[in-house]
């Protein structure tokens, strides 16, 4: 099976680069486009490098955010009813940070009661912020970037093949029609050996 595949590629490459006068220009172009479509495999290491770069950059960004944010315990002072079909509750909570008391209202994704303590994330000024993305998110971002790049390259290659093949086929058929018509004499009879 492997030798058959190798022979097929050798045959296609000879069409693209060979000097056989029986191979038409359209055949050479089609073989070159098919080889270009296979070049998508070259994009795999590029996509892997892109994934690594995105992972490293996002990982550093997430680590820097973690250093600027602090987790504190806040006392719930008031709650609203849990929203229907969700566990979201609007709470009012108070906490102390850097010698300053803070009070804020915000949505909480678990049912809580007044007097209960919850852990929240605050910035360097003591203001509550949305919790940080977890560190493993950098890996997902990198994988998403690599997949997007590979799909884009594969889509462009497939589009080139899908557009070029019918055009080349029409050119080939037109050339065959011209060649067949040139075999006819001026009076319409066909030429015979």
Convert the pLDDT of each residue in 106-147 to its tens digit.
888 887 888 889 888 888 888 888 776 677 788 888 899 889
> Which strand ranges, in their side-by-side order, compose the sheet holding 70-79?
100-108, 89-97, 70-79, 117-122, 128-129
Average pLDDT, the chain: 79
Please report, for residues 132, 143, 148, 166, 177, the alpha-carbon distance to residue 51 in angstroms, rounded to integers and kept in the order given. 21, 6, 10, 36, 51
Distance CA 59, CA 20 (A): 55
Domain extent listing, the chain: 2-56+137-182, 70-129
Give one DSSP letter per residue of 71-136, joined into a string: EEEEEEEEE-PPPTTS--EEEEEEEEETTEEEEEEEEESS---TT-EEEEEE-TTS-EEPPPPPTT
**What does the alpha-carbon distance between residue 85 and residue 83 come to, in Å, rounded to a whole number?**
7
pLDDT > 90: what percent of the chain?
1
pLDDT band per the 50, 70, 90 thresholds, residue 27: confident
Cβ contact 12:31 at 8 Å: yes
Look up residue 40 and give its DSSP letter.
G
Q: Could you report the per-residue pLDDT of 29-55, keeping only the tens digit for each? A: 777 777 777 777 778 888 888 889 888
Task: Give dist(CA 166, CA 141) in Å, integer.
Answer: 38
Of 15 and 164, which is predicted with more confidence?
164
The percentage of residues in the chain with a pLDDT greater than 70, rounded to a whole number, is 83
Least confident of 42-51, 83-92, 168-177: 83-92
Euclidean distance between CA atoms 62 and 143, whole angstroms: 16
Measure the CA–CA gap between 95 and 106, rounded to whole angstroms. Answer: 13
Q: Is the pLDDT of residue 1 over 50?
A: no
Beta bridge pairs of residue 70? 122
Query: What three-state secondary structure class fits 191?
Result: coil
pLDDT the model gives residue 15: 63
Averaged pLDDT, 78-94: 80
Give buried/exposed letters for 41-56 (b at 16+ CB in 10 A, else e).
eebeeebeebbeebbe
For residue 169, what are the contacts with CB-CB under 8 A and spacing of at least 6?
Answer: 26
């Amino acid at each position: 099976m492997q030798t058959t595949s190798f022979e097929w590629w050798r045959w296609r490459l000879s069409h693209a680069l060979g000097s056989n006068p029986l191979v038409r220009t359209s055949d050479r172009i089609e073989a070159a486009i098919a080889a270009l479509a296979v070049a998508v495999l070259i994009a795999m290491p590029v996509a892997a490098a892109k994934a690594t770069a995105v992972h490293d950059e996002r990982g550093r960004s997430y680590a820097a955010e973690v250093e600027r944010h602090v987790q504190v315990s806040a006392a719930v002072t008031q709650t609203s009813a849990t929203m229907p079909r969700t566990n979201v509750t609007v709470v009012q909570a108070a906490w102390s940070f850097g010698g300053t008391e803070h009070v804020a209202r915000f949505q909480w994704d678990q049912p809580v009661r007044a007097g209960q303590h919850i852990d929240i994330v605050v910035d360097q000024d003591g203001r509550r912020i949305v919790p940080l993305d977890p560190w493993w998110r950098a890996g997902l971002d990198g994988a998403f970037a690599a997949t997007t790049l590979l799909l884009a390259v594969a889509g462009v290659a497939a589009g080139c093949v899908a557009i070029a093949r019918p055009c080349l086929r029409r050119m080939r058929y037109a050339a065959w029609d011209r060649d067949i018509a040139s075999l006819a004499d001026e009076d319409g009879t066909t030429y015979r050996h």
